[in-house]
Structure 1
């Protein structure tokens, strides 16, 4: 060993010097502000979900179907929506391998308040589908409120 090696002492190290001091705990005011922010975001999200579902709400229920022959199927269904709104429903017929053999988009216009049930909200509909082969099932795939500008 040389004399230089003996004189070089390691620098004083401690955990605080190496990693920094202890973090301060969150104050009571900080915790309260975080809680208020989380509640505000939660309330805003619930309001958005509620209003977006209420403005474009449409639902459907399959009632039944009948197959006249290999080229024609009739589908019966109910639609529940705002009586003044237009809606569109996609109806499909399927074969035994679940392949789509018939497809149609049905326009549902505004309803008078004395039509159907619930003051015109729920109305029954029937449509005929042309099919490529024998259908063994027919259902409503989806219903929606079309955009007013389109």
Structure 2
């Protein structure tokens, strides 16, 4: 081995394909990890549904009418759990309603919930994509 070759090897000059390959592999791994994390974050929010109560009306001692606004994917069915509560916040009525896809992202709904006792409030518990 020549003196020049020994010096190049000793001080890392010349052909450094091993280091360069490791560096490229590391950069590719980081880019793939960032892209995967971004895709996961976006994919989990595509089916988010938000429900906000608008109003409720106690129709009689066995019925509550609940009005609420639902925002979610316009091209998917959405199901909502609507409930009626008594004065101690106990559930006295519960109903799950499925809404067909309408092409609208935000809709205002009105549902009547039958109760087993007198209710003092009505609300939408949660909504989800079916």
The answer to whether structure 1 residue 135 and structure 2 residue 119 are counterparts is yes
Classify the secondary structure of the residue corresponding to 1:139: strand
Mapping for residues 1-150 of structure 1, pairs under 5 Å: 37=29, 40-54=32-46, 56-112=47-103, 120-146=104-130
- Consecutive unaligned residues of structure 2, counting only runs of 5 or more, are 1-18
What TM-score do the two structures reach when normalised by structure 2? 0.72
Classify the secondary structure of the residue corresponding to 2:42: helix
Classify the secondary structure of the residue corresponding to 1:135: coil
Classify the secondary structure of the residue corresponding to 2:113: strand
What TM-score do the two structures reach when normalised by structure 1? 0.64
Classify the secondary structure of the residue corresponding to 1:75: strand
- Consecutive unaligned residues of structure 1, counting only runs of 5 or more, are 1-26, 113-119
Report the CA distance shift for 1:76/1:32 in structure 2 as closer, same or farther (over 3 A).
same
Stretches of 4+ aligned residues off by more than 4 angstroms: 29-39
Aligned residues: 112
**Structure exhibiting the larger radius of gyration computed from Cα positions:** 1
Classify the secondary structure of the residue corresponding to 1:125: strand
